[in-house]
């Protein structure tokens, strides 16, 4: 059974943990660099992206996270997690891992009171995914190696680049665990020799 580490500094940690368990996996919190040892996949949750980045720096996680993801660790970033993964953003400055070749716009869909749900056509899914958007970013620019997996009004809201999957929305806030199942499948299919250090 795959074990998914959830970055547990701030944000929707418990919701992701519940979704992983519902999808048939195990989870463990990631708060320190050594917590990355032995996990099969990683989730960077939604929350407040500036806070997550600042705390990751305080806990010495920035370079270990970059290294683990570069080594092929299957990784899902949702909402703030997408921003944290990205190479840059349209406005402001904050700590970003820079491992996902996209430029994002924070709060692109509006403020908290403009949150909404939408049925998304997701590449590879046989039926729509009901997605929850809360102060969500969208992707403004994608690099050549990035696949757009889902859009809203022509704005990319879910992308894939190699071992990295990122969404503007919060799949952990629904009972549909197909995206978490994708993470577990990626973890289980990963060659155990990948990422040996």
16, 105, 170, 180: the catalytic one is 170
Catalytic residue among 15, 16, 79, 105: 79
> 64 Cβ partners below 8 Å, 6+ apart?
33, 36
Told to judge if 170 belongs to the known catalytic residues of this protein, a careful annotator would answer yes
CA dist., res. 18 & res. 136, Å (int): 22
Residue 114 corresponds to which tokens in the numbers above? Answer: 């403009």
93 alpha carbon, distance to own chain's centre: 19
> DSSP states of 65-112 as a string?
HHHHHHTT--EEEETHHHHHHEEEESSS-------EEEEEETTTT-SG
For this structure, is 79 an active site residue?
Answer: yes
* Residue of 15, 16, 105, 172 with catalytic role: 172
Give the CA-trace dihedral at 88, 93, 99, 102, to 10 degrees.
-20
b/e per residue 68-84 (b: at least 16 CB within 10 A): bbeeebbbbbbbbbbbb
Q: Which tokens in the block code for residue 145? A: 């190696």
Q: Which of 161, 27, 188, 20 is nearest to 82 (CA)?
A: 161
Which element (helix H / strand E) includes 69? Answer: helix 62-70
Catalytic positions: 79, 170, 172
């Amino acid at each position: 059974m795959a074990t998914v580490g959830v970055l547990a500094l701030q944000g929707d940690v418990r919701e992701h943990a519940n979704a992983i368990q519902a999808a048939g996996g195990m989870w463990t919190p990631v708060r320190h660099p050594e917590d990355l040892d032995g996990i099969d996949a990683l989730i960077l949750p939604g929350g407040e992206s500036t806070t997550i980045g600042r705390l990751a720096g305080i806990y010495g996680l920035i370079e270990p996270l970059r290294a683990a993801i570069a080594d092929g660790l299957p990784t899902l970033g949702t909402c703030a997690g997408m921003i944290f993964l990205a190479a840059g953003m349209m406005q402001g400055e904050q700590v970003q891992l820079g491992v996902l070749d996209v430029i994002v716009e924070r709060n692109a869909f509006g403020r908290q009171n403009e949150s909404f749900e939408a049925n998304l056509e997701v590449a590879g899914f046989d039926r729509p995914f009901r997605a929850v958007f809360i102060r969500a970013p969208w992707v403004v620019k994608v690099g050549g190696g990035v696949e757009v997996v889902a859009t809203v009004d022509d704005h990319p809201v879910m992308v894939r680049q190699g071992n990295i999957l990122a969404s503007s929305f919060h799949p952990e806030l629904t009972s549909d665990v197909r995206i978490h199942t994708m993470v577990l499948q990626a973890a289980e299919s990963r060659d155990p020799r990948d990422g040996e250090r």
